[in-house]
Amino acid sequence: QRIPIRIEKVSSGRYMSTLPFRSDMRPRDNYWVNLTRLDKWQARLERKGLHQEVEDNLFKLLNEGQAEIINETDGYFIPLQEVVREDSPSTPVRVVGNASFGKISLNDVLDKMEVSGLDVLPHLLRSRNKKFLLLSDMKKAFLQILIAPEHRKYLRFVWRTKDQKLIHLQMTALPFGLV
């Protein structure tokens, strides 16, 4: 049975939502498996000379309030990976999560809802009849949606700093790429 999503406007004017779970099934705690993957990934980042740039991206999430440091190891930890796009002037190195990781992954238990109203052609054709056109950059739009505190434990990740300090984090905002 599909579990309804709860969306509410909070005092900051932003919206907070629960995750769209399909049923009562949740992904298993996977902290220890994720630590093994982290070590391999960070070794690859060191070889490529990207460790500091990835760390800067992660700490930017913290500084902008889109993630928070936690002291827990339960929950679903999303393995991270880098995406390098040297032709991108704004973000040549992007950090993305693999929410499809594991026997029962986060993406396996989330509802893959259909989105309607995203057919752009009618809007483009209609805009040709108007005197003015308003453009909007939807960059980081997902990060504007807060995640309800009880569902943040499914959006965790771990990072090891250069001085070998292990940091546990969880997203407070909706990361791009779920489901």
Question: In tens digits, what is the pLDDT along the chain, a chain of 179 residues?
Answer: 667 888 999 999 889 999 999 999 999 999 999 999 999 999 999 999 999 999 999 999 999 999 999 999 999 999 999 999 988 887 888 899 999 998 899 999 998 876 555 577 777 787 778 788 777 666 567 788 899 999 999 999 999 998 999 999 999 999 877 76
Write down the pLDDT at residue 53: 93
Contact 31, 158 (CB under 8 A): yes
Write down the pLDDT at residue 8: 92
Write down the pLDDT at residue 66: 94
Q: Which residues face 146 on adjacent strands?
A: 16, 173
Write down the pLDDT at residue 125: 80
Write down the pLDDT at residue 105: 93
Three-class SS of the chain: CCCCCCEEECCCCCEEECCCECCCCCCCCCHHHHHHHHHHHHHHHHHHCCHHHHHHHHHHHHHCCCEEEECCCCCCECCEEEEECCCCCCCCEEEEECCCCCCCCHHHHECCCCCCCCCHHHHHHHHCCCCCCCCCCCCCCHHHEEECHHHHHHCEEEEECCCCCEEEEEECECCCCCC
Distance CA 62, CA 169 (A): 9
Write down the pLDDT at residue 134: 74
Write down the pLDDT at residue 34: 93
Q: Which residues face 97 on adjacent strands?
A: 80
Q: Which residues contact 20 (CB under 8 A, 6 or more apart)?
A: 3, 5, 110, 111, 113, 179
pTM: 0.83
Write down the pLDDT at residue 162: 87
Contact 143, 91 (CB under 8 A): no
